[in-house]
Amino acid sequence: MIPEVLRILDPGTPIASVLLSGTQINNVIFSSFDEARSLAYFATSAGVIVLDAAEIQGLQTA
């Protein structure tokens, strides 16, 4: 389900929270999704984070 959502998100979409293996990451911007490697890229105030889409449990857009 999450990879399908990541495929249709537009770069620059504000994400209020990402739930990742029980940890919540707040206030990020979706950058891109590498479908071949199942990696999602998000921009934060500290830089770019790369997440394995299989570990993402939920997304909440802003």
Evaluate if residue 62 carries a pLDDT over 90. no
Provide the 10 A C-beta neighbour count for residue 50.
11
Question: What is the predicted pLDDT for the residue at 44?
Answer: 95
Question: DSSP class of residue 53?
Answer: G
Alpha-carbon distance 42 to 27, whole Å?
A: 10
- pTM for the predicted model, two decimal places: 0.93
pLDDT tens digits, 18-58:
999 899 999 999 999 999 999 999 999 999 999 999 999 99
